[in-house]
């Protein structure tokens, strides 16, 4: 384990030396700021490549803030849309997507109660 750690540190040092002592910046942060039109296109492209494309959400961007609108029958699609917009580079996301009542009810029914752990069984069956 110590040998692997040493190897990893040596590799990191070699990479830093090759970069002239500067650590490479993360790809998403080093990009030039996008215009609203470019950001909107990037968000739409991410939506099109995902399962949420079937919802046909509308996307508008103003000053780097993405505004998402539409309706969905899958409660999780609302959160996915927010994450995809943030990953595309939106500074902030106003998610105005409406989740249908049927989807809300389904999400409520699918929630499971917390699992109970039987302490006596655990203590009795501990390996010694």
55-105 pLDDT tens trace: 999 999 999 999 999 999 999 999 999 999 999 999 999 999 999 999 888
Choose the weakest-confidence range: 3-7, 76-80, 102-106, 121-125.
121-125
Residue 102 burial (10 A CB sphere; 0-12, 13-18, 19+): exposed
Number of residues that this document lists for the chain: 128
Global pTM exceeds 0.85: no
Looking at residue 24, its pLDDT comes to: 47
Looking at residue 109, its pLDDT comes to: 84
The whole-angstrom separation of Cα 89 and Cα 80 is 15
The residues, any chain, with a CB within 8 Å of residue 7's CB and separated by 6 or more, are: none
The whole-angstrom separation of Cα 81 and Cα 124 is 47
Over residues 20-52, the pLDDT tens digits come to 655 444 444 445 668 999 999 999 999 999 999
Architecture of the domain spanning 33-110: 2-Layer Sandwich (3.30)
């Amino acid at each position: 384990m110590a040998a692997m750690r040493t190897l990893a540190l040596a590799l990191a040092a070699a990479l830093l030396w090759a970069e002239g002592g500067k650590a490479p910046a993360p790809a998403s942060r080093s990009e030039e700021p996008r215009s609203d039109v470019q950001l909107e296109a990037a968000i739409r492209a991410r939506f099109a490549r995902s399962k949420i494309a079937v919802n046909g959400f509308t996307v508008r961007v103003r000053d780097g803030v993405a505004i998402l609108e539409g309706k969905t029958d899958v409660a999780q699609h609302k959160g996915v849309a927010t994450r995809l917009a943030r990953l595309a580079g939106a500074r902030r996301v106003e998610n105005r997507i409406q989740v249908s009542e049927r989807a809300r009810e389904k999400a409520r029914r699918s929630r499971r109660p917390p699992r109970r752990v039987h302490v006596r069984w655990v203590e009795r069956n501990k390996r010694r």
